[in-house]
Amino acid sequence: MRGLSRVMLSCILLSSTEVEPGGIGDLTRALLEHRRGALSSLEWSQRLEARASLIETGDQLDAALRERIRFFRRARESRPSCLLARLCALGDGGDFALSEDEILAHTSVFFRAGIEPVAVGLAWTLILLSQAPAIREDLARQLGRKPDGVPDPDTVDSLQPLDWTVKESLRLLPPNAFMARVTQCPTELAGLRLPAGCEVLLSPYVSHRDPECFPRPYAFDPRRWKNAHPTPFEYLPYGAGPKHCIGSHLATWMMKTALAAIVRSHDISLERDQEVNWKISVTFMPADGLAMRVSPRGSGSPRSGGRATGALRRLVEPG
């Protein structure tokens, strides 16, 4: 899923799949791995080593992006229609043109912040669908089976069953399971006086399980979104208010596009009964890889597949 989301983002941001070793996409993958290592519970010496690798890889990614920015700025007549090229074209040397540092910052944030949440969101969605063959088959039927599987990018947002499925997955198992905010001045929250500089933790995972807003909160039920209309502060997989994720629409669109392509052309189920556990490694994600069976559509009725056991059974009501 990380590889898939990296290729998709490379196409959107750079007009290239960037799969070659040492390319921008590959450097971004390495940067995220080193970041996870630097933030994990490794021995102190290992964390220092991961931090050094993180800085080195960051410098390499910085240089590669700057080279691409300079190329796009020189090639005005032959710029591709990707996000980086459009950022380079803003103002085209005038007073409103973005500086190289500003373009670099925007691009690297989109890349680093986009790959992991999309990959984790897709992984959780496929795991949830693997445990719900009836929902999986109904989604495929409503999307329409196609040999190549790829949906029209302009119509993805209008596919209601797809929208409900992604919303429900992000409700049950949000990659950003908790977030931190810091008070800028003394204030009161739920009857408590908070000083300036106080860190406040909020959890979409907890908020999304409020039974008053979401009946049967532990059930994976995409059809609930036919009548569910939560406020932005009741359903907040991307945060809410001024700190709402600026890339939320892009991330959701990527999830929908990838999921539609997969479900239209293939049926995915667990290969056998397996433990599905979770961990926090920057995002709320599956703890381990899983053996999945991928069957072409048209090869028979959907498999019930293996049963997910382990911690997932405490997070999601069995289908």
Query: Among residues of the chain, what percentage have pLDDT more than 70?
Result: 92
Instruction: Report residue 287: phi and psi, to 5°.
Output: -75, -30
The pairing of strands 274-275 and 187-189 is: unpaired
Q: Do 73 and 9 fall into the same domain?
A: yes
The verdict on 137 and 250 lying in the same domain is yes
203 in a domain, yes or no?
no
- Cα–Cα distance, 302 to 132 (Å, whole number): 10
Q: 280 with 304: CB under 8 angstroms?
A: no
Residue 304 has a pLDDT of 76
Q: What's residue 308's pLDDT?
A: 93
Domain stop point among 67, 98, 129: 98
Nearest to residue 111, comparing CAs of 235, 16, 237, 186?
A: 16
Residues 36 and 157 in one domain: no
- Which residues are 207's β-sheet partners? none
Distances (CA, A) of 299 to 96, 139, 151, 294, 304: 56, 17, 21, 11, 14
In a domain, 209, yes or no: no
Same domain? 14 vs 125: no
Residue 139 belongs to domain spanning: 115-171+215-319
Question: CATH no. for residue 254?
Answer: 1.10.630.10
Residue 41 has pLDDT above 60, yes or no: no
Among residues 65, 98, 131, the one where a domain terminates is 98
| Buried/exposed code over 143-181 (b: 16+ C-beta within 10 A; e: otherwise) | beeeeebebeeeebeebebbbbbbbbbbbbbbbbbebee
Could you tell me the pTM of the whole model? 0.87
Same domain, 32 and 123: no
pLDDT digits (tens, 9 = 90+) for 1-22: 988 998 888 888 888 765 566 6
299 and 225 share one domain:
yes
Average pLDDT on 185-201 reads 93
> Mean per-residue pLDDT for 55-61?
91
Q: Of residues 90 and 187, which shows the higher confidence score?
A: 187
Residue 250 in any domain: the answer is: yes
End position of a domain, from candidates 49, 69, 98: 98
In the predicted model, is pLDDT for residue 74 greater than 80? Answer: yes
Per-residue pLDDT, 63: 92
Q: What is the mean pLDDT of residues 199-218?
A: 95
